[in-house]
């Protein structure tokens, strides 16, 4: 759980949702969204913000969880914010999603090649190297990123920096990832 | 020079300071009165206001008072209230008022001064991040970062505050931004791609609602403050009359439907009437109109109106199914929706249902025993009888507020002003200041307990300075009565920090410069009320009432209708009470 996680009202029948929000790219818009989650006691599992093809609009991708009633309230409350242009719950849509992690792993001459094999299997990249560490860039679904982290854990992970999930609705159902 | 009268195009495009532009923008918005308090960061605005005769500035004695006054003005008039304060402490003092307006959906715009842009974040003198502080308690807020966006921001602020589900909007004005000069041109139109409140009720949903109503045997209208905010009382009256469906209102819904009508059941909820709550609990179709299923109305939400199909009309989509699952949601403006629904509904056969309700009214009316010492209920009931519903009643928070809701017969919308959602003690006196600027044709009566009155008592000076005809009624029982009641009923009568003293209110009135007198016997009540209403200008009346008295019916917080307690029998039989001899039982029911 991330430090952003707050207590949910009804964790019992909760499931994970990916919600995409387009907001006016204005001073304070991000804080309004984040503040809404903390004020109402909703969970944020991850949040990512960035510009879009239109300079005046930002996209936030929020991964949250809750039961249907809570998710319905979250979407309604997000829509209620004056700066919100559009809220889409991507959970029930075909979507493409990516998560990125930079993982700094401790290495020895004995473990280095094994780590590099794991990196290869996950189609990740080594982006920095030092006598005692390797830094791996892993991109993929959050499950894939979770999996490579799990595989690297036995070698001692020194640091992880991870983005939140970003996602878009798929345009063509049959497309191969 | 009289800049306020100028309206020639050349004048409109003349270069002006931001201070002047600010004031002229308010005039463009039709603002007639501003409640505020000057200070360093807004001194330029006050300088610009000095020349303006189109806008009255009312100097309250505390910034909280200014915001409550703006609320009182907005609630009584239906227009948007305006408050203007300085930076730092001036801004932070507005917070309670803003939170109050947010909870009760009151359209107000609060302008706060701010330190110059380059000092923001520097812990400058009288700096506070008021935009950050008020973000969760405003509908929206703005920091004006350059002079070019001042007029469009003001336009947006008034638009956002007054449309959709109304609410408070705050605009933070850095001193240096307004110190600049530019041409004044006020935007004529407004378009916000991210904000388009949904006004029109969906036809399919209306049809579903009409079908449910047609089949209903025991329908009830549950009417909230949204009906009054939408100015939909006429539409409500028409549809109620056509369908013969009884009406229960929330605290803020009082006045939306005339309470002397046989179809009125008064207020529902924790301290609602026995009959309104019983009807809601037994109804088969509940039509919620501009109400939000607040916990003080529903008690335990699962147990609220358990047998009813629920139709919910509200302009705020997030209010629907938030607390209680609703069967037919209709998102839209209450006025618009009721207007469209009216021709779609037929008269309901509610004869048997209304008979049940009449029986509940007869069995469990509101009641109390009148004796030598004054009961608050009696003061309120008398006030109702004397004013005949033609007054603005501004109540505070606590026992007297609930008794006002119960024992006053509200007849017209916007005549009942109180702090419902936030429950802000100290609301009444400053709110009555605002109401006095909204309505000059009816008496303004501010009712407070001895607790609440002392929370914003400084506004007596405002009332005197502007010679406002506010009738200040203090119902003094020497206790924080509602807390005492809870301690009595649920905390083994351990009275912890609820007994309180106050000043000599009659002398205080005199000290502030208004007439004041007190009454302590039941026989004096009627005369005291008449005298106050007949006295021109402000007047203070202290009613010394029975010290320990409880508001009934009530159910404990979070409980259900089944736990509703009516007035205990021993109290009615004269065993309890302070003066059991010569007591007379008074019963009162709505409709």
| Res. A113 pLDDT band, cuts 50 70 90 | very high
Dump strand ranges (E) for B257-314.
Answer: 264-267, 285-289, 309-314
Contacts of B145 in chain A (CB under 8 A): 27
- Pairing, β B285-289 against β B309-314: parallel
**Residue A87: closest C-alpha in chain B:** B194
Contacts of B321 in chain A (CB under 8 A): 69, 72
Residue ranges, CATH 3.40.50.1220, chain B: 203-361
Q: CA-CA distance, B95 to B118, in Å (whole number)?
A: 25
* B335 belongs to the catalytic site: no
The CATH number assigned to the domain with range A15-92 reads 3.30.70.260
Q: CA-CA distance, B365 to B54, in Å (whole number)?
A: 50
Residue B576, pLDDT above cutoff 90: no
Residue B252, pLDDT above cutoff 90: yes
Write down the catalytic residue from B16, B19, B35, B63.
B63
3-state class (DSSP) for residue B448? strand
pLDDT of residue B7: 46
Per CATH, the architecture of B3-183 is what? 3-Layer(aba) Sandwich (3.40)
- Rounded to a whole number of angstroms, the distance from the CA of A35 to the nearest CA of chain B is 7
Residue ranges, CATH 3.40.50.970, chain B: 3-183, 374-545
Verify whether the Cβ–Cβ distance A28 to B318 is below 8 Å.
no
- Could you report the per-residue pLDDT of A142-154, keeping only the tens digit for each? 999 999 999 999 9
Residue B580, pLDDT above cutoff 70: no
Q: CA-CA distance, B360 to B366, in Å (whole number)?
A: 11
B202 and B305 Cβ atoms separated by less than 8 Å = no
Residue in B139, B193, B316 closest to A85 by CB = B193
Domain at A95-169, CATH from 2.60.40.420, 3.40.50.720, 1.10.3720.10, 3.30.70.1150? 3.30.70.1150
Verify whether the Cβ–Cβ distance B136 to A35 is below 8 Å.
yes
pLDDT of residue B588: 87
| Res. B11 pLDDT band, cuts 50 70 90 | low
Q: Does B312 touch chain A (CB under 8 A)?
A: no
Q: If you average pLDDT over residues B387-397, what whole number do you get?
A: 97
Which DSSP letter does residue B202 get? Answer: P
Average pLDDT, chain A: 89
Write down the catalytic residue from B5, B6, B125, B325.
B125
Q: What is the 3-state secondary structure (H, E, C) of B32-65?
A: CEEEECCCHHHHHHHHHHCCCCCCEEEECCCHHH
Contacts of B160 in chain A (CB under 8 A): 82
- Pairing, β A95-106 against β B470-476: unpaired
What's the CATH fold of domain B374-545? Rossmann fold (3.40.50)
Domain at B203-361, CATH from 3.40.50.300, 3.40.50.1220, 3.30.1360.120, 3.60.110.10? 3.40.50.1220
pLDDT of residue B550: 96
pLDDT of residue A93: 87
- Could you report the per-residue pLDDT of B16-33, keeping only the tens digit for each? 999 999 999 999 999 999
* B482 belongs to the catalytic site: yes
Contacts of A79 in chain B (CB under 8 A): 317-318
A-interface mutation test, from B318, B319, B324, most A Cβ less than 10 A away = B318
B436 and B391 Cβ atoms separated by less than 8 Å = no
Verify whether the Cβ–Cβ distance A80 to B317 is below 8 Å.
yes
Residue in B132, B194, B317 closest to A24 by CB = B194
Residue B289, pLDDT above cutoff 90: yes
Q: If you average pLDDT over residues A36-46, what whole number do you get?
A: 92
Write down the catalytic residue from B75, B139, B155, B175.
B175
Verify whether the Cβ–Cβ distance B135 to A69 is below 8 Å.
no
- Rounded to a whole number of angstroms, the distance from the CA of B196 to the nearest CA of chain A is 9
Verify whether the Cβ–Cβ distance A27 to B145 is below 8 Å.
yes
- Alpha helices by DSSP H, listed for B304-458, are 334-341, 351-363, 376-387, 399-407, 428-438
pLDDT of residue B259: 97
pLDDT of residue A171: 85
| Res. A173 pLDDT band, cuts 50 70 90 | low
pLDDT of residue B394: 98
Residue B526, pLDDT above cutoff 60: yes
| Res. A8 pLDDT band, cuts 50 70 90 | very low
In order, the DSSP letters of A65-130 are EE-HHHHHHHHHHHHHSTTEEEEEEGGGS-EEEEEEEEEEEE--TTTHHHHHHHHHHTT-EEEEEE
pLDDT of residue A5: 41
| Res. B583 pLDDT band, cuts 50 70 90 | low
CB-based contacts of B142, cutoff 8 Å, min separation 6: B131, B153, B156, B157, B169, B170, B171, B172
């Amino acid at each position: 759980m991330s430090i952003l996680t707050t207590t949910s009202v009804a964790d019992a029948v909760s499931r994970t949702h990916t919600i995409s929000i387009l907001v006016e790219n204005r001073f304070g818009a991000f804080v309004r969204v984040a503040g809404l989650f903390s004020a109402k006691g909703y969970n944020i599992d991850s949040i990512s913000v960035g510009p879009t093809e239109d300079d005046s609009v930002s996209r936030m991708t929020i991964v949250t969880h809750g039961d249907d009633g809570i998710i319905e309230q979250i979407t309604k409350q997000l829509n209620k914010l004056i700066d919100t242009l559009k809220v889409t719950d991507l959970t029930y849509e075909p979507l493409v999603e990516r998560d990125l992690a930079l993982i700094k792993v401790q290495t020895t001459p004995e473990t280095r090649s094994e780590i590099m094999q794991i990196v290869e299997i996950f189609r990740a990249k080594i982006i920095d190297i030092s006598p005692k560490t390797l830094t791996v860039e892993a991109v993929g679904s959050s499950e894939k990123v979770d999996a490579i982290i799990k595989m690297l854990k036995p070698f001692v992970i020194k640091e992880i920096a991870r983005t939140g999930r970003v996602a878009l609705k798929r345009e063509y159902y049959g497309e191969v990832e | 020079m009289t800049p306020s009268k100028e309206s020639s195009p050349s004048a409109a495009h003349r270069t002006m300071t931001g201070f002047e532009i600010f004031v002229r923008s308010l005039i463009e918005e039709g603002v007639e009165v501003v409640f505020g308090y000057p200070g360093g960061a807004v001194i330029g605005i006050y300088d610009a206001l000095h020349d303006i005769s189109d806008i009255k500035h009312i100097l309250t004695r505390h910034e909280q008072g200014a915001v409550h006054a703006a609320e009182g003005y907005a609630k009584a008039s239906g227009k948007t209230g305006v408050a203007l304060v300085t930076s730092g402490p001036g801004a932070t003092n507005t917070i309670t008022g803003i939170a109050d307006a947010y909870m009760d959906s009151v359209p107000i715009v609060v302008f706060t001064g701010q330190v110059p842009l380059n000092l923001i974040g520097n812990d400058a003198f009288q700096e506070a991040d008021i935009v950050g502080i008020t973000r969760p308690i405003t509908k929206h807020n703005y920091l004006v970062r350059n002079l070019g966006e001042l007029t469009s921001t003001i336009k947006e602020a008034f638009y956002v505050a007054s449309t959709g589900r109304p609410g408070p909007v705050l605009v933070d004005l850095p001193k240096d931004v307004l110190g600049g000069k530019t041409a004044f041109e006020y935007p004529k139109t407004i378009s916000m791609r991210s904000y388009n409140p949904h006004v029109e009720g969906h036809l399919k949903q209306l049809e579903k609602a009409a079908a449910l109503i047609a089949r209903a045997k025991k329908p009830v209208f549950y009417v909230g403050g949204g009906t009054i905010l939408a100015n939909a009382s006429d539409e409500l009256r028409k549809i109620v009359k056509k369908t013969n469906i009884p009406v229960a209102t929330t605290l803020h819904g009082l006045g939306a439907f005339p309470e002397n009508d046989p179809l009125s059941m008064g207020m529902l909820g924790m301290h609602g009437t026995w009959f309104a709550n019983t009807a809601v609990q037994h109804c088969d179709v509940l039509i919620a109109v501009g109400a939000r299923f607040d916990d003080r109305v529903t008690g335990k939400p699962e147990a609220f109106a358990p047998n009813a199909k629920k139709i919910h009309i509200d302009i705020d989509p997030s209010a629907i199914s938030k607390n209680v699952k609703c069967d037919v949601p209709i998102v839209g403006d209450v006025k618009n929706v009721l207007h469209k629904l009216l021709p779609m509904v037929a008269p309901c056969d509610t004869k048997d249902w209304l008979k049940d309700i009449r029986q509940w009214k007869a069995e469990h009316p509101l009641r109390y025993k009148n004796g030598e010492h004054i009961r608050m209920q009696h003061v309120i009931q008398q006030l109702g009888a004397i004013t005949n519903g033609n007054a603005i009643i501004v109540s505070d928070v606590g026992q007297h507020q609930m008794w006002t809701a119960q024992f006053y017969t509200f007849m017209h919308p916007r005549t009942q002003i109180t702090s419902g959602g936030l429950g802000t003690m100290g609301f009444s006196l400053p709110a009555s200041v605002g109401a006095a600027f909204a309505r000059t044709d009816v008496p303004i009566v501010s009712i407070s307990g001895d607790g609440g009155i002392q929370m914003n008592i400084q506004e007596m000076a405002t009332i005197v300075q502007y010679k406002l005809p506010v009738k200040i009624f203090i119902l003094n029982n020497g206790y924080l009565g509602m807390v005492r009641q809870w301690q009595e009923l649920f905390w083994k009568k351990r009275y912890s920090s609820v007994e309180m003293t106050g000043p000599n209110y009659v002398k205080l009135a005199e000290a502030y410069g208004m007439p004041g007198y007190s009454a302590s016997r039941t026989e004096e009540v009627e005369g005291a009320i008449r005298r106050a209403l007949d006295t021109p200008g402000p007047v203070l009346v202290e009613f010394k009432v029975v010290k320990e008295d409880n508001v009934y019916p009530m159910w404990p917080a979070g409980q259900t209708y089944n736990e509703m307690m009516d007035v205990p029998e021993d109290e009615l039989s004269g065993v309890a009470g302070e003066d059991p001899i010569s007591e007379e039982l008074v019963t009162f029911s709505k409709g």
